[in-house]
């Protein structure tokens, strides 16, 4: 016993220089973070690298322009669509649809998720049903939604709703269930009624998680919107992509796909920035 | 004989896991006098936390009676302040607001809440941390805020479940002194769960040893060490002797009775 202890003692001393050497090399490892500047640099390099590969592929005619137009062609096409107002109209239609569809889904999913995350009876009533519907393929609802609602905005709202609502409900339920039992115990020892425990403890505690749920599901909402617009629409980003396919305008298609990616990236970053402001306390570590 | 502060009579509690029922507490009977400091010790799994949360009103017993000042305990309430092992400070509220949160529940008006919360932060020597969030406080500081919060609404009793378990030795010692001071000043009655026998003796008037399988009271020791108790008492013969006895009692009572 004593021998083992004695044998073990020098071990940390030997381990330290190794760790230090690692740190000096500035390498990345599990649990190690890199500076914000390096993070941005690495991310930009990846984008630049892919852009360069694209440029090279078209510059040296490795692919036909009809399949993959050059970055310059896509760029000038986007500029043209922006200047003649087409892009603004398409964007306006799509943003309106996603805003309304996503708001309806979220406004219903949050209270229902909180309810079934808190009360087991409600969970029994709703959770299995939601789970059942959740596994039905959203795409299969597209023809049905057209039969029900035509090809107007209502049908787009419906597809966005079907695609996001059921996932959101389950994720919000999960956010709520993660509220530590002791927090609820605290509320009870303070003599708070269930309603106040819900509004003053459960909801504020689950809020950062719910915000995250919204951020993630907003990404899916974009997918379902474009899908709905591809199939049946007379305006919007997805509609423009379908029309362009008809005229072999690959540069418009790729331009709009990039635009959609950019929109996703921007909204995601915006929501993350808002999160950092709204939930400042959480960033400083959890209690 | 005067009415005890807390009276527990013939308390039983069992849990069902699948088809198997295990008895966690059997026939627990304990009295706590006014301003008495009682520690519960016993090996892991003997039901200390379960007993505490039943007294807090967070769990229901299968049978048995409990009363505070003669009135039966039926639900959680502001007459019992609970300090959980996990601090349970609400992370979205500052230290000050965490205390105000409890005072609001207790029905105090806003200006009064601010003043009382401030006073209690000062009491635990954290006046300068009023505007910090729990994430910015160390473990010991969090625990002090939690104690300040539990005291702020003047409960008759304090129920504490291994409150200092996660603290380093020095902070722990400071917290023990602080708790003794507050207990004395506010004439509190405290039920304190710990698995540290030294801590139990240093703090308590009486120690209740619980045995396992099922959880039951197996021994009770009075602590005849006069107060105030300077740190040096930890080395005194009387202290060490008592510590040995309590440890032996725990060891003997952690042999299971019979399979239930
Ligand atoms: N919610 C529960 N469901 C099932 N069994 C439980 C539950 N809570 C406690 N038990 C059982 O009751 C017994 C007592 O548990 P308890 O947490 O009260 O022990 P403890 O004395 O506080 O232990 P420790 O010192 O490790 O904290 C254990 O055997 C535990 O498995
Ligand atoms: Mg315990």
Domain-by-domain residue ranges, chain A?
Answer: 69-286
Q: Is B118 in the pocket of ligand 1 (CB under 6 A)?
A: no
Q: How many CB atoms lie within 10 A of CB A23?
A: 11
How many structural domains is chain B composed of?
A: 1
Are B58 and A185 an interchain contact pair (Cβ–Cβ within 8 Å)?
A: yes
d(CA A35, nearest CA chain B) in Å? 22
Burial B197-233 (b: 16+ CB within 10 A, else e): bebbbbbbbbbbbbbbbbbbbbbebebeeeeebeeeb
For B112, residues 6+ apart whose C-beta sits below 8 A from its C-beta are: B103
CB < 8 Å to B76, chain A: 185, 188-191
d(CA B76, nearest CA chain A) in Å? 5
Q: Is B48 in the pocket of ligand 1 (CB under 6 A)?
A: yes
Of residues B2 and A241, the one with the higher pLDDT is A241
Q: Which of A182, A196, A283 sits opposite B84 (nearest CB)?
A: A182
pLDDT at residue A10 tops 80: no
Least confident of A5-14, A202-211, A226-235, B121-130: A5-14
Q: pLDDT-derived band of residue A5, with 50, 70 and 90 as boundaries? A: very low
Mean pLDDT to the nearest integer, B210-235: 92
Q: Is the dihedral of CA A76, A80, A83, A87 positive or negative?
A: negative
Give the pLDDT score at A13.
42
pLDDT at residue A240 tops 70: yes
d(CA A216, nearest CA chain B) in Å? 22
Say if B147 is an interface residue toward chain A (CB within 8 Å): no
Q: pLDDT-derived band of residue A26, with 50, 70 and 90 as boundaries? A: low
Are A282 and B80 an interchain contact pair (Cβ–Cβ within 8 Å)?
A: no
The domain that holds B238 is classified in CATH as: 3.40.50.300
Mean pLDDT to the nearest integer, B117-133: 93
Q: pLDDT-derived band of residue B50, with 50, 70 and 90 as boundaries? A: very high
Dump pLDDT digits (tens) for A76-91.
999 999 999 999 999 9
Say if A186 is an interface residue toward chain B (CB within 8 Å): yes
Which domain covers residue B224, as residue numbers? 1-79+191-260
Give the up-direction half-sphere exposure of residue B205: CA atoms within 13 A in the CB hemisphere.
15
What span, in angstroms and rounded, lies between the C-alpha atoms of A222 and A232?
Answer: 16
Pocket test for ligand 1, best of B46, B60, B62, B165 (most atoms within 8 A of CB): B46
pLDDT at residue B1 tops 90: no
CB < 8 Å to B96, chain A: none
Nearest CA in chain A to B133: A281
Mean pLDDT, rounded, of chain A: 88
| B251 part of a folded domain | yes
CB < 8 Å to A179, chain B: none
Are A281 and B92 an interchain contact pair (Cβ–Cβ within 8 Å)?
A: yes
Q: Return the CATH number of the domain spanning residue range A69-286.
A: 1.10.3720.10
Measured from the Cα of B53, ligand 1's closest atom is 18
| B106 part of a folded domain | no
| B165 part of a folded domain | no
pLDDT at residue A3 tops 50: no
| B203 part of a folded domain | yes
For B222, residues 6+ apart whose C-beta sits below 8 A from its C-beta are: B205, B206
| B13 part of a folded domain | yes
Say if B112 is an interface residue toward chain A (CB within 8 Å): no
Give the pLDDT score at B174.
85
Express as a percent the part of chain A with pLDDT over 70: 89
CB < 8 Å to A189, chain B: 56-58, 76-78, 80-82
Nearest CA in chain A to B153: A190
Measured from the Cα of B46, ligand 1's closest atom is 21
pLDDT at residue B17 tops 90: no
Dump pLDDT digits (tens) for B149-160.
998 998 989 999
Protein residue with least CA distance to atom 3, ligand 1: B15
| B142 part of a folded domain | no
Dump pLDDT digits (tens) for B244-255.
999 999 998 877
Give the pLDDT score at B3.
82
**Contact between residue B52 and residue B30 where contact means Cβ atoms under 8 Å apart:** no
For A204, residues 6+ apart whose C-beta sits below 8 A from its C-beta are: B90, B92
Mean pLDDT to the nearest integer, B190-208: 95
What single string gives the DSSP state of each residue in A57-104? HHHTTSS-TTTS--HHHHHHHHHHHHHTTHHHHHHHHHHHHHHHHHHH
Q: Is the dihedral of CA B16, B17, B21, B24 positive or negative?
A: negative
CB < 8 Å to B145, chain A: none
> For residue B94, what are the CA distances in angstroms to A57, A183, B117?
57, 15, 11
CA A155 to the chain's CA centroid: 23
Mean pLDDT to the nearest integer, B41-52: 93
| Greatest distance between any 2 Cα atoms in chain B | 58
Ligand 2 centroid–CA B205 distance in Å is 21
**Contact between residue A157 and residue A97 where contact means Cβ atoms under 8 Å apart:** yes
Q: Which of B88, B135, B137 sits opposite A182 (nearest CB)?
A: B88
Q: pLDDT-derived band of residue A31, with 50, 70 and 90 as boundaries? A: confident
What span, in angstroms and rounded, lies between the C-alpha atoms of A5 and A226?
Answer: 65
Q: pTM for this structure? A: 0.83
């Amino acid at each position: 016993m004593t021998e083992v202890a004695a044998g073990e003692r020098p071990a940390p001393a030997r381990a330290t220089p190794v760790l230090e050497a690692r740190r000096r090399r500035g390498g990345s490892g599990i649990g190690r973070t890199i500076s914000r500047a390096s993070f941005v640099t690495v991310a930009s390099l990846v984008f630049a690298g892919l852009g360069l590969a694209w440029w090279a592929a078209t510059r040296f005619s490795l692919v036909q322009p009809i399949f993959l137009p050059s970055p310059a062609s896509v760029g000038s096409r986007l500029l043209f669509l922006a200047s003649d107002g087409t892009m603004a109209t398409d964007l306006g239609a799509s943003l309106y649809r996603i805003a309304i569809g996503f708001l309806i889904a979220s406004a219903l999913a949050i209270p229902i998720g909180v309810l079934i995350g808190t009360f087991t009876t409600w969970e029994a009533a709703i959770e299995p049903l939601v789970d059942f519907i959740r596994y039905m393929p959203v795409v299969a609802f597209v023809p049905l939604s057209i039969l029900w609602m035509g090809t107007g905005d209502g049908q787009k709202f419906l597809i966005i709703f079907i695609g996001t609502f059921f996932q959101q409900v389950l994720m919000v339920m999960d956010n709520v269930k993660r509220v530590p039992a002791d927090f609820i115990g605290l509320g009870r020892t303070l003599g708070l009624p269930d309603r106040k425990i819900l509004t003053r403890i459960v909801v504020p505690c689950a809020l950062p998680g719910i915000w995250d749920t919204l951020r993630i599901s907003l990404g899916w909402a974009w997918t379902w919107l474009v899908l709905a617009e591809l199939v049946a629409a007379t305006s919007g980003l997805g509609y423009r992509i379908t029309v362009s396919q008809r005229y072999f305008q690959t540069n418009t298609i790729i331009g709009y796909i990039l635009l959609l990616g950019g929109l996703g990236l921007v909204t995601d970053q915006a929501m993350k920035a808002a999160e950092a402001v709204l939930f400042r306390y959480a960033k400083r570590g959890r209690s | 004989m005067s009415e005890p502060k807390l009276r527990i009579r013939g308390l039983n509690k069992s849990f069902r896991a699948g088809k198997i029922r295990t008895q966690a507490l059997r026939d627990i009977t304990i009295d706590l006098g006014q301003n008495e400091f009682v520690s519960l010790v016993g090996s892991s799994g003997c039901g200390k936390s379960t007993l505490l949360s039943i007294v807090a009103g967070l769990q229901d017993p299968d049978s048995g009676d409990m009363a505070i000042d003669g009135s039966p305990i039926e639900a959680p309430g502001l007459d019992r302040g609970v300090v959980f092992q996990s601090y349970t400070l609400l992370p979205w509220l500052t230290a000050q607001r965490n205390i105000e949160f409890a005072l609001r529940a207790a029905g105090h008006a806003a200006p009064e809440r601010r003043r009382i919360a401030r006073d209690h932060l000062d009491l635990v020597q954290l006046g300068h941390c009023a505007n910090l969030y729990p994430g910015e406080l160390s473990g010991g500081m969090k625990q002090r805020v939690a104690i300040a919060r539990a005291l702020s609404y003047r409960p008759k009793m304090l129920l504490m479940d291994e409150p200092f378990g996660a603290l380093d030795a020095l902070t722990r010692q400071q917290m023990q002194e602080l708790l003794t001071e507050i207990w004395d000043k506010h004439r509190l009655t405290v039920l304190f769960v710990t698995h540290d026998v030294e801590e139990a003796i240093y703090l308590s008037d009486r120690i209740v040893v619980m045995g396992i399988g099922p959880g039951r009271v197996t021994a009770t020791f009075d602590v005849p060490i006069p107060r105030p108790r300077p740190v040096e008492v930890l080395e005194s013969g009387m202290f060490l002797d008592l510590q040995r006895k309590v440890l032996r009692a725990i060891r003997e009572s952690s042999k299971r009775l019979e399979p239930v």
